[in-house]
Structure 1
Amino acid sequence: MQTIIDETVGIARHLTLNRPRQRNAISLPMVDELLQKLTEAEAASQTRVLVLRGAEHNFCAGGDIGDMLTAQQNASDGDTDAFYHLNRRFGELLERVNSSSLVVIAVLEGAVMGGGFGLACSADIAIADHSCRFALPETRLGLPPAQIAPFVVARVGLSQARRLALGGTTLKAREALDIGLIHQLLDSSTTLEAALQGHLDNINACAPGALATTKYLLLQAAQIADKYALSHLLDDAAKHFSNAIQGSEGREGARAFMEKRAPEWQH
């Protein structure tokens, strides 16, 4: 069975985690496949959005136990870095999704736990239905959510991240919305699909280059520690703005506005 179902529709590359018997737990082959497909999507000029979801009404129940057992065997055989490399490889996926030039939308149903929780937090837009249950169960298994923690803090703040990670707390979808873990809560799978299409329509109205630059600047802004760094960032932002407004997308956007028509990038 494919670990990823891959479909391109218009401006969106849809990647579905496809291990339903394991509630779409993320295995190392799945990580490798996701990274490969993300690279392909970023290289495709027509693609602006990466949609992540899980097969058969679960998003992702975390990491694959089989990989843990393999790492344990490798460690027993003398590979002292087996667990380090296993854990860090998943972190590479979160980093890539978080910093991708594409807009990443997570469509969440059912289990959103451990690594799935981290993947949801690395998305730009997270939408969910009422079936969702969110949890960071790692500490209950004697483990830290090592690669996940920075993305959870970035999404919900340190105070809520402490509560979730240090208590192994399970959240229902309404509370996830209340703390900002997700951005939109829908009543059913039908309204979930309609909401996804609404976001795709909104993104379709945005210029590809402007989207990528804006995401870059937002991520840079989140790392600002003092006003001097902010000044440098805004200098950099002004250069990007100048390049954009004088570039092909900026010119086309101005023409379309004046001519009261959709810009050429809107299909």
Structure 2
Amino acid sequence: MPEFETLLVARGGRVTHVTLNRPEVRNAMSLAMVDELLAVLERAERDGSRAIVLRGAGGHFCSGGDVKDMGAAQARPGNGEDPIAGVNARFGHLCAAYAGTGLPVVAVLEGAVMGGGFGLACVADVAIARETALFRLPETGLGLVPAQIAPFLVERLGYSQAKRLAVTGGKIDAASALKLGLVHHVCDGEESCGATLSQVLAEIRKGAPNAIAATKQLIARARLEPASALVEDAARIFARAARSEEGAEGLTAFLEKRPAAWAREGEA
């Protein structure tokens, strides 16, 4: 993997591991980081990665957006467009890209998980929190709006809890995040979190890559469309999977009582 300015990126066992690497500002998300996160995701989607893991350096996940970028945008001439809106929209595209990828996204969360970092936690398919994680939505206290993460807050937490946390500043610990369904696992210490991550990745490895991607797409549609409207499309998606190479291999492996080929492709 090439060097990045704001990220540490490594690939092992067909998993792309991404560490937000601005520890001096608790990994605040600059525009450069947004662009690099998008580039890493695009590469992982092309290079055969089975999953992408997000975490932060220095004991924190992400303290939100870098206010310096917003200040710099405000000082630039707009040329008919609002530069602050452009900065905000760029982060929105990042959230949408990670929410929409066919790759499983796993987030390992600790320390500050604020604003945009909170949003990234919401778009992860699996969220693992250390006991040190502290989740906050500071935007309204700064006179701002959690604009781009609002849809993902509602999706993850439901309307009532998303609204409560947004208007109160949403300060919750890891145990409360687990109760709310914001995270799926809470672990005590780095060793415990490493073991949990390994288990989650091993479970992901058991699923066929194309089947996982198709399942994620169908579940995303199921949030917005009634079940009756999905019947015929779901049947076609199922039939296409059953006739695919993955489907043939999966059924054969089941009958032969052996792991499928994709589950034997190194550690996920």
Aligned partners of 1:25 and 1:60 also within 8 Å: yes
Ranges in structure 2 where 5+ consecutive residues have no aligned partner: none
Residues of 2 paired with 1:125 and 1:259: CA distance? 31
* Counterpart position of 2:239: 242
For 1:262, the aligned partner's letter is P
2:13 aligned with 1:13, yes or no? no
Identity %: 49
Whether contact under 8 Å (1:11, 1:204) holds in the other structure is: no
Q: Shift of the alpha carbon at 1:79?
A: 6.0
Q: Matched residue pairs, number? A: 261
CA distance in 1: counterparts of 2:152 and 2:15, whole angstroms: 24
Q: Write out per-residue CA displacement over residues 153-204 of structure 1, whole angstroms, 9 at most, x where no aligned residue.
A: 1000111111110011310111111111111111111111100000100011
Distance 2:57 2:118 in 1: 16
Residue 223 (str. 1) matches residue 211 (str. 2)? no
CA-CA distance at 1:78 after TM superposition: 6.4
After superposition, where does 1:173-252 map in structure 2 within 5 Å?
Answer: 173-224=174-225, 226=226, 230-252=227-249
Question: Is 1:133 paired with 2:134?
Answer: yes
Of residues 247, 262, 266 in structure 2, which corresponds to 1:265?
262
Structure 1 length-normalised TM: 0.95
1:56 aligns with 2:58: yes
Query: What TM-score, normalized by structure 2, do the two folds share?
Result: 0.94
Instruction: Determine helix, strand or coil for the equivalent of 2:224.
Output: coil
* SS of residue matched to 1:112: strand
Is 1:253 equivalent to 2:254 in the alignment?
no
Runs of 4+ in structure 1 deviating by more than 4 angstroms, as ranges, are 77-80
My pick for the range that moved more, 23-32 or 253-262, is: 253-262
Q: Tell me, in whole angstroms, the C-alpha distance in 2 between the residues paired with 1:55 and 1:9.
A: 18
Q: What CA deviation, in whole Å up to 9, does each residue of 1:10-39 have, x standing for no partner? A: 131111100000100000011001101101
Give the one of 59, 74, 78 matched to 2:76.
74
Question: What's the CA shift for 1:80?
Answer: 4.9
1:139 is displaced (CA, Å) by 0.1
Q: Deviations over 1:227-264 (max 9, x none)?
A: xxx32322111111101111100110111111111111
What runs of 5+ residues in structure 1 fail to find an aligned partner? none
Deviation of 1:112 after TM superposition, in Å, equals: 0.2
Residues 178 and 248 of structure 1: is their aligned pair in 2 closer, same or farther, counting only changes over 3 Å? same
Question: How much is the aligned-residue C-alpha RMSD, in angstroms?
Answer: 1.3
1:109 match: 110
**Residue 97 of structure 1 pairs with residue 98 of structure 2:** yes
3-state secondary structure, aligned to 1:265: helix
1:91-114 per-position Cα deviation (integer Å, ceiling 9, x unaligned): 000000001010000100100000
Match of 1:57, SS?
A: coil
Correspondence 1:143-154 to 2 at 5 A = 143-154=144-155
SS in structure 1 of the partner of residue 262 of structure 2: coil
Alpha-carbon separation, structure 1, partners of 2:117 and 2:174: 14
Once the two structures are superposed, what CA deviation does each residue of 1:59-109 show, in whole Å capped at 9, x if it has no partner? 00000121011012115x766511100100000000000010100001001
Query: Greater shift after overlay, 10-19 or 79-88?
Result: 79-88
Work out the CA distance in 2 between the residues paired with 1:52 and 1:236: 32
Residue 251 of structure 2 aligns with an amino acid whose one-letter code is A
Q: What is the distance in 2 between the residues matched to 1:44 and 1:237? A: 28
3-state SS in 2 of match to 1:223: coil
Which of 28, 35, 38 is the matching residue for 1:35? 38
Q: Which whole-Å deviations, capped at 9, do the CAs of 1:202-232 have from their partners, x for residues lacking one?
A: 01111111100100111010112x4xxx323
